[in-house]
Amino acid sequence: MKKKLVVLSGAGVSAESGIKTFRDAGGLWEGHDVMEVASPEGFRKNPTLVLDFYNQRRRQLFDVQPNKAHTIIAGLENEFDVAVITQNVDDLHERAGSTNVLHLHGELLKARSVNSYDSFEWTTDINLGDLHTDGYQLRPHIVWFGEAVPAIEEAIGIVQQADYVIVIGTSLQVYPAAGLMDYAKPNVPIYYVDPNPASIPYMKKPVEVIAKMGSEGMEIVWEKLKNA
């Protein structure tokens, strides 16, 4: 039986692929206040702006590729029973070869009705006036600030079963995702990879901080896991 390894990934793991994070710029995302483009209020106020914002993000996915951090994480499946729990809405983990990925905050390549959480594949632009078969406007399948995170209970259950946890590319500022590693069993090794790691003085778990970019940090973690 392979040991269970859980990867908790954030925007930083995709940054090396050219996908911009928003917290690096004082809360601005591509020049927008995040609440303008990533909240139900923002969507109600200016749906065209929000749809266009995600249309641009969706198009960008076709111009970027997984980086070495993604491929190392995918390769861990050769030795471990790996579950990736990601805050990212891109598909780079899957394209790198990861086969068990849970998206906490939704997926850019899916859409849904504003009246339902049931999502479906969607690879082109969503425009104002594009309606679901239920007659309601389509929206990106994204969990915006202020909305519930439906996958969080499943994610907690996965972390509780982990033998190893890797936290990579996250500022540990967005909840409930930031609290997931608290659910790891006592004495489970936790590797935290981020070039600007958040301070975690409250943690009573064995967290090893690796202050590196994702690709270099994952190479270090992989060597440590070989010797664990």
- The pLDDT confidence band at residue 81, using thresholds 50, 70 and 90, is very high
At 94-134, the pLDDT tens digits run: 999 999 999 999 999 999 999 999 999 999 999 999 999 99
Q: Is residue 35 part of a domain?
A: no
Domain that holds residue 80: 1-19+66-105+143-228
The answer to whether the CB of 95 falls within 8 A of the CB of 66 is yes
Mean pLDDT value across residues 70-88: 97
- Residues known to be catalytic: 105
CATH number of domain containing 70: 3.40.50.1220
Q: Is the pLDDT assigned to residue 200 strictly greater than 70?
A: no
Average per-residue pLDDT for the chain: 91
Phi, psi of 165 (to 5 degrees): -130, 135
Of 76, 108, 114, 110, the closest CA to residue 92 belongs to 108
Q: Is residue 36 part of a domain?
A: no
Whether the predicted model's global pTM rises above the 0.85 cut: yes
Tell me how many domains the chain contains: 1
Residues 6+ apart with CB under 8 A from 101: 84, 86, 93, 94
